[in-house]
Amino acid sequence: MSQLIEVKIPDIGDFKDVPVIELAVNPGDRVAAEQTLLTLESDKATLDVPSPSAGVVKEIKVKVGDTVSEGSLVVLLEAENVATASAVAPAPVASAPVAAAAPAAPAASGGLVEVKVPDIGDFKDVPIIEVLVSVGDNIAAETAVVTLESDKATMDVPAPTAGVVKELRVKVGDRVSEGNVILIVETGAAALAAAPTQTVASVPAPAPAVAPAPVASAAPVPQATAPAGKAHASPSVRKFARELGVDIAKVPGTGPKGRIQQQDVQNFIKGVFAQIAGGALPGAAPAGGVTGGGELNLLPWPKVDFAKFGPVETKPLARIKKISGANLARNWVMIPHVTQFDKADITDLEAFRKAIGPEAEKAGVKVTMLTFLVKACVAALKKFPDFNASLDGDNLVYKQYFHIGFAADTPNGLVVPVIRDCDKKSVYDIARDMAELAKKARDGKLGPAEMSGGCFSISSLGGIGGTAFTPIVNAPEVAILGVSKSALEPVWDGKAFVPRLMLPLSLSYDHRVIDGAAAARFTSFLTQALADMRRVLL
């Protein structure tokens, strides 16, 4: 059932006559529930107005520059799956407490000001999805310092005053409520004098809620190095850029006052792809990478009205899927992949694993084949250091530490937690770390630090099934080991076929860094190590 509904501006606190600074949709666009329709910017906050329902935008009642207040009609939406009998329904978001992020009153003490979470309506424990400033940054009053995202709205919290960031009290993933201290700003002339060079003090005044990007950002693909927080973009545009792995600071804004719009991010990506195809992107195609070929000349993504062919249900892609999807797509396009297949005889190792089971249980751990694989991979990485390297332009960075990532399946999608210093840990330590990280992953509690710094990844589908697959390299790593389900197979021992437990391995590697022969040696070493773990000691 579809119905025409009026989308109105929800409760935005005490704000009145707030300018519309960006329209995120066009008439005819199909939108998901909660998708941003337009962005408002008061002198205190930037606010995205979400769609109350999935549907098709029929008419937009405002234009950029118009001012709106609570209750202003902004969009006519042909909404899907609306239960109400009324033909014109009020926007459900009107009842949602999407409060304006007014800055908290500073609690000054000797030039130090605590920046607190302002009144955010009924929301509590809202996750911080972005920290936009760093310690030492010199910020203008109203510079957005963090972005919060509830299930209803994305909100920037602006600094109430200019000064130098002295201390950050929060990190991405922390949950905050009204009154929580986010950071400490040192105000006054002394702070400004001590400010480092990456300052936004030179940004043209007057600064709105988000400091405007320098005028120079209108130049094509500038080498802007300003921190992301200084980019003049709404939360939804920054979110869009983040999900696609785009550094918003590098995107030239073409909106009013250099504001970066969604279209600017899309154009930026198109430009990057064109450069990759032309081999012109610095760092994208060194050492025999992607060169030549002109434009990618891809067909546009097929737009199909699936509902024409049968009943459908549309759901937004989970956040983890969007982020990992963007990373996987980049890695797939930019890395010339080859996959080397092999099989390891793990008959003895599996017997050993079973034998130590009770002892491991007493120690409070479960040792799975993956635990041994981590150890075997560390030994292989030590023997073949190219696999523990990363491309950095024309250089190879060889890591002298052994942090191993493992792909973990979670209800929301794939994540890769990293077990640190696997060379220094026992099999039990690794099993314990793996169980803890896998649980955190499934509970959605992994912090960014627990997913970074990996040297090499293992993706095990052995607990599920399959005989082989081609994993995608997890850049900037240069190789990833795929593991499939072990099975008893008849193996010729020179006299007869004997049943052996064989483990299929699929090693994908970046062919810019690793030759086929090296990959074959690597997997061959791995199979020998797994067949006889004493080799790991050598």
Indicate which residues carry an active-site annotation.
511
- 526/194 Cα distance (integer angstroms): 54
Tokens of 531: 């067949």
Q: Residue 192 corresponds to which amino acid?
A: L
Tokens 């590098």 belong to which residue?
250
- Should residue 463 be labelled a site residue for ligand COA when binding is judged by CB under 6 A? yes
The CA-based angle 294-300-253, given to 5 degrees, is 75
Please give the DSSP secondary-structure letter assigned to residue 202. Answer: T
Interacting residue with ligand COA among 118, 160, 253, 462 (CB under 6 A): 462
Choose between 74 and 480: whose C-beta lies nearer to ligand COA. Answer: 480
Choose between 255 and 471: whose C-beta lies nearer to ligand COA. Answer: 471
- 483/466 Cα distance (integer angstroms): 9
Contacts of residue 530, defined as CB under 8 A and 6 or more positions apart, other chains included, come to 344, 345, 346, 349, 372, 373, 376, 503
State which of positions 358-387 bind ligand COA (CB under 6 A): 368-370
User: CB of 21 within 8 A of CB of 255?
Assistant: yes
- Should residue 438 be labelled a site residue for ligand COA when binding is judged by CB under 6 A? yes
Contacts of residue 397, defined as CB under 8 A and 6 or more positions apart, other chains included, come to 389, 390, 391
- Is 306 strand, coil or helix? helix
The CA-based angle 319-325-326, given to 5 degrees, is 100
User: CB of 458 within 8 A of CB of 507?
Assistant: no
Tokens of 510: 């970046």
- 364/200 Cα distance (integer angstroms): 52
Choose between 99 and 373: whose C-beta lies nearer to ligand COA. Answer: 373
Least Å from the CB of residue 457 to ligand COA: 9
- 139/146 Cα distance (integer angstroms): 13
Single out the segment in contact with ligand COA by CB under 6 A; choices: 1-9, 129-137, 456-464, 522-530: 456-464
Least Å from the CB of residue 480 to ligand COA: 9
Interacting residue with ligand COA among 49, 115, 481, 503 (CB under 6 A): 503
Interacting residue with ligand COA among 414, 427, 451, 475 (CB under 6 A): 414
x-or-dash string of contact with ligand COA, 205-234, rule CB under 6 A: ------------------------------
Least Å from the CB of residue 102 to ligand COA: 43
Least Å from the CB of residue 485 to ligand COA: 4
- Should residue 408 be labelled a site residue for ligand COA when binding is judged by CB under 6 A? yes
x-or-dash string of contact with ligand COA, 122-141, rule CB under 6 A: --------------------
Choose between 169 and 420: whose C-beta lies nearer to ligand COA. Answer: 420
Least Å from the CB of residue 532 to ligand COA: 18
- Should residue 460 be labelled a site residue for ligand COA when binding is judged by CB under 6 A? yes
Q: Residue 298 corresponds to which amino acid?
A: L
Residues at the contact surface with ligand COA, assessed by CB under 6 A: 368-370, 406-409, 414, 438, 459-463, 471, 483, 485-486, 503
